[in-house]
Structures are given as C-alpha cells and as structure tokens.
A and B are shown apart, each in its own frame.
Chain A
Amino acid sequence: DTEVTQTPKHLVMGMTNKKSLKCEQHMGHRAMYWYKQKAKKPPELMFVYSYEKLSINESVPSRFSPECPNSSLLNLHLHALQPEDSALYLCASSTRTENTEAFFGQGTRLTVV
C-alpha cells in the first residue's frame, strides 16, 4: 500500500477562519512533508518532519502551522490566510529524508475568499 490520504479534498475558507488539513500514511515512513503547488508550477516545499520532529521550515509564514501528532499523521493548521494562499496543498511521505522515493497524496484544493 503506497497510499497517502489527505482530507479534505476541497476547502473554501474566509480570511478570518481557522481550519486544518490532515494527512495520513500507513507505510511506516518516518519522513513527512507539506508542499504548496500553484497552477502550472512544480510543488514548493514548506515543511519537513523527520521522526515526528520538525526538521525543515522553508521560511513559511506563521499563519501556516504544522503538527505531527504521531508517525502516521501530519496536520497543517491554517489561520488568517490571504487570497494568495489559495493553492493545492500536498502531503508526501518517504522512508527517510535523503535520496529516496517520496509518495504524494491527492492534495487539498484550498481557496481563500
């Protein structure tokens, strides 16, 4: 099973709302990632978790707050977003952080109004 599951698939939120994106994998992977993808562009790395610890934050604004409750789950908490934050948010996982296959979820299409 090489599946990464993301919920919800679509999300519309106002600029004053608080919402969370969820990601789950049961492949025993110890590295998990959040990416942001704008239309017609490759994914951009936001955060990397390794063994449930945040190891990389690619200078992401604090209105995005990641959380890794356990080795299978990854959340992205959203607060006070801007319309330009509208994008496809992708979760991925891999066995480790270096030079190995990363498997992506289907993404959450986020629209900020």
Chain B
Amino acid sequence: GENVEQHPSTLSVQEGDSAVIKCTYSDSASNYFPWYKQELGKGPQLIIDIRSNVGEKKDQRIAVTLNKTAKHFSLHITETQPEDSAVYFCAATPGNYQLIWGAGTKLIIKP
C-alpha cells in the first residue's frame, strides 16, 4: 500500500525567510496530493493541493511542487510570518477514499 514520508519533523526559520517541507510517496498510482495546516487545538485546514497532471501550483506565499518521476512533492512558504507557525501535514491518495498522511512537520517561526 501507499506510504508517505515527510521531512523534517521540526523546522525553525526566521520570520521573513522561506520554509520548505518535503514528502515522498511510494505508490505511483497516487494522483492527488493535499497539504494541511493544523494549529494547536484546531482541525486540519486544507491550504493547497496538487494533482498528478500538474508540476507546480502557487497561491500567494504558498507553493507546491510535484516530481512524479521521483515520487516527491514539496511545500514552499515564502516570507514567513508568525501566523504560519503550525503543524503541516502532507498526504497522498492512491485513487480511493483513503488519505495517506505524512507524520507532520512542526513549523516554528522565530521573531
């Protein structure tokens, strides 16, 4: 079955710098890759997603890239702000109902 690995587990960056979180997946049938942001005490919030027929997608300060050949996808956050501090989860879905989640990255923005 599908397996998703996410790195790093913790990422600390200076406010204003960029942050990159990377995920790899194992099942080449996976064709939908969402990213969720989860703040303390809240539910996961979908922030961006990408489908396998697209290599890159951008929404303001957030971008996601997908390399189907290497089976990895990454979240890029530019000009980080204190409100970006949260846990970020990547996920992959191999064509069924199931979201296969990464382990999560705790992003800390230092003032």
**Chain A: residues with CB nearer than 8 A to chain B?**
4, 6, 31, 40-43, 45, 48, 50, 55-56, 88, 90, 97-107, 109
Tell me the smallest distance from the CB of A95 to a CB of chain B, in Å.
12
Q: DSSP class of B's interface residues: helix, strand, loop or mixed?
A: loop
Assuming the contacts A40-B104, A42-B89, A42-B104, asked whether A104 and B44 have C-beta atoms less than 8 A apart, the reply is yes
Q: Whole-angstrom distance between the alpha carbons of A59 and B64 in the complex?
A: 34
B46:A43 contact, CB within 8 angstroms = no
The answer to whether the Cβ of B1 comes within 8 Å of any Cβ in the partner chain is no
Nearest CB in chain A to that of B34: its residue: A101
CB contact between A98 and one of B41, B44, B89, B96 (< 8 Å): that residue: B96
Q: How large is the interface on B (under 10, 10 to 19, 20 to 34, 35 or more residues)?
A: 20 to 34
The answer to whether the Cβ of B98 comes within 8 Å of any Cβ in the partner chain is yes
**Mind listing 23 A-B residue pairs with CB under 8 Å?**
A6-B43, A31-B97, A41-B103, A42-B89, A45-B98, A45-B99, A50-B97, A90-B44, A97-B97, A98-B93, A98-B95, A99-B31, A99-B32, A99-B93, A100-B32, A101-B34, A101-B49, A102-B34, A103-B46, A104-B36, A104-B43, A104-B45, A106-B42
Nearest CB in chain A to that of B99: its residue: A102
B43:A55 contact, CB within 8 angstroms = no
15 A-B pairs besides A43-B101, A56-B97, A99-B51 with CB distance below 8 A are A41-B104, A42-B103, A55-B97, A90-B43, A97-B96, A98-B96, A99-B31, A99-B32, A99-B93, A99-B95, A101-B34, A104-B44, A105-B43, A107-B42, A107-B43
